């Protein structure tokens, strides 16, 4: 695709320029002040496994930071709080950062200072439906739930539906229902016909009779899901702590992917996800820690995956506008310093 090639070339040029001209880069490897607390706002779910491992194994503390996680009910609360300075880091979909950077998020929230600094995963997005809906075609005339129609995961839903011949407000409707935990509970309660779930919620949902109709990667290809997002002004003042966070996160991934730690990892998952059974924890391990399609092993952000996010936002975002090159939404200097 010519648009994707152009976006990637512009992104690469922008990233090289940013790395060469960033005056703070040399100072990023300095140790932060002892046990600096980092307030990290997250969506509840098993995709926080690397954070749990880093906390439990002392891998963040090893680098001089104390990671305190705060659950968010939805993306609006999360990004609004990040933009206001209530939180230091948000583990969030990169689309959320792009939306608020481009004035397509919640009204009155200035997201111009937001940027991604680290990748995490491909979103692990699955289209799931109630038991009596067995195909995407059977969603015609139904109501589907989303976090918000302004968010990228909702755009993934719209794109999957369109590629299967179903158009919003012609063939189906949507209702905002909050973050993935709320949507999961609503789907189990059959309040809506379908929603996009994030692994391992789909694993637990299957045990309750929910059908998984498809996954985003098979429909869309490369897609950037969760990233670490920050305020650029905060990162400038807290570069060593941010670099230490990335180091701790990467070491946590290494710990999780080490086969000898599998049992400890599963026990940790069951501890943090009270509804998880041994079986669902093991299935979650096979999905989230799959060598090819699991957590991004090095926590590196995917430029092609981000280009897909940008393309969907240009198509579905409101007010409609032309997005910036991919590299405008990512500062790689902290990630590079953490290598």
Which residues, listed in sequence order, are joined to residue 69 by a DSSP beta bridge? 40
Q: What's the CA angle centered on 134, arms 133 and 140, to 5 degrees? A: 55
Average pLDDT over residues 148-152: 83
Provide, rounded to the nearest whole percent, the portion of the chain with pLDDT above 70: 90
pLDDT over threshold 80, residue 21 = no
Q: What's the confidence (pLDDT) of residue 16?
A: 35
Residue among 271, 231, 242, 263 nearest 60 (CA)? 242
Number of alpha carbons in the 13 Å side-chain half-sphere of residue 147: 27
Average pLDDT over residues 186-192: 96
Q: What's the confidence (pLDDT) of residue 204?
A: 83
Both structure tokens of 285: 């391990």
Band (33; pLDDT cuts 50, 70, 90): low
CA torsion through residues 181, 77, 238, 25, sign: positive
Topology at the third CATH level for domain 125-220: D-Maltodextrin-Binding Protein; domain 2 (3.40.190)
Sequence spans of domains, the chain: 20-122+224-337, 125-220
| Better pLDDT: 77 or 6 | 77
Which residues, listed in sequence order, are joined to residue 127 by a DSSP beta bridge? 196, 214
Q: How many whole angstroms separate alpha carbon 104 and alpha carbon 82?
A: 16
Q: What is the pLDDT of residues 200-254, one digit of tens each?
A: 888 888 888 999 998 888 888 899 999 999 999 999 999 999 999 999 999 999 9
Q: What's the confidence (pLDDT) of residue 10?
A: 33
Band (30; pLDDT cuts 50, 70, 90): low
Architecture of domain 20-122+224-337: 3-Layer(aba) Sandwich (3.40)
Residue among 69, 18, 24 nearest 45 (CA)? 69
Band (27; pLDDT cuts 50, 70, 90): low
- With H, G, I as helix, E, B as strand and everything else as coil, classify residue 1: coil
Residues 6+ apart with CB under 8 A from 140: 166, 171, 172
- With H, G, I as helix, E, B as strand and everything else as coil, classify residue 292: coil
Which residues, listed in sequence order, are joined to residue 119 by a DSSP beta bridge? 227
Domains 20-122+224-337 and 125-220 share a fold: yes
Q: What is the mean pLDDT of the chain?
A: 90
Helix, strand, coil percent content, the chain, rounded in steps of 5:
50, 15, 35
Q: How many whole angstroms separate alpha carbon 88 and alpha carbon 100?
A: 16
Q: What's the CA angle centered on 28, arms 25 and 30, to 5 degrees? A: 140
Which residues, listed in sequence order, are joined to residue 42 by a DSSP beta bridge? 71
Residues 6+ apart with CB under 8 A from 14: 325, 327, 328
Q: Is 309 exposed, middle or buried (0-12, 13-18, 19+ CB in 10 A)?
A: buried
- With H, G, I as helix, E, B as strand and everything else as coil, classify residue 330: strand
């Amino acid at each position: 695709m010519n648009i994707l090639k152009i976006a990637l070339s512009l992104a690469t040029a922008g990233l090289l320029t940013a790395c060469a001209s960033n005056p703070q880069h040399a100072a990023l490897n300095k140790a932060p002040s002892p046990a600096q607390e980092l307030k990290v706002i997250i969506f509840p779910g098993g995709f926080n496994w690397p954070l749990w491992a880093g906390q439990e194994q002392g891998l963040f503390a090893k680098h001089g930071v104390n990671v305190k996680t705060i659950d968010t009910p939805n993306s609006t609360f999360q990004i609004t709080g990040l933009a206001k300075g209530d939180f230091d880091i948000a583990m969030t979909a990169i689309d959320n950062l792009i939306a608020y950077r481009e004035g397509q998020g919640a009204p009155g929230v200035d997201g111009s200072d937001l940027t991604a600094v680290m990748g995490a995963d491909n979103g692990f997005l699955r289209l799931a439906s109630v038991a009596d809906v067995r195909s995407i075609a059977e969603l015609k005339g139904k109501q589907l739930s989303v976090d918000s129609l302004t968010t990228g995961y909702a755009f993934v839903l719209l794109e999957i539906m369109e590629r299967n011949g179903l158009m919003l407000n012609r063939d189906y409707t949507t209702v905002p229902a909050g973050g993935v935990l709320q949507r999961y509970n609503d789907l189990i309660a059959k309040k809506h016909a379908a929603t996009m779930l994030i692994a391992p919620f789909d694993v637990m949902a299957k045990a309750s009779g929910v059908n998984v109709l498809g996954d985003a990667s098979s429909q869309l290809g490369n897609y950037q899901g969760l990233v670490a997002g920050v305020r650029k002004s905060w990162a400038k003042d807290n570069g060593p702590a941010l670099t230490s966070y990335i180091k701790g996160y990467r070491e946590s991934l290494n710990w999780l992917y080490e086969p000898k730690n599998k049992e400890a990892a599963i026990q940790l998952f069951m501890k943090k996800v009270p509804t998880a059974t041994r079986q669902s924890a093991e299935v979650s391990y096979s999905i989230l820690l799959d060598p090819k399609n699991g957590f991004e092993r090095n926590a590196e952000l995917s430029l092609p995956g981000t280009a897909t996010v940008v393309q969907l936002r240009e198509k579905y975002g409101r007010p409609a506008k032309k997005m910036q090159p991919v590299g405008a939404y990512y500062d790689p200097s902290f990630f590079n310093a953490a290598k």
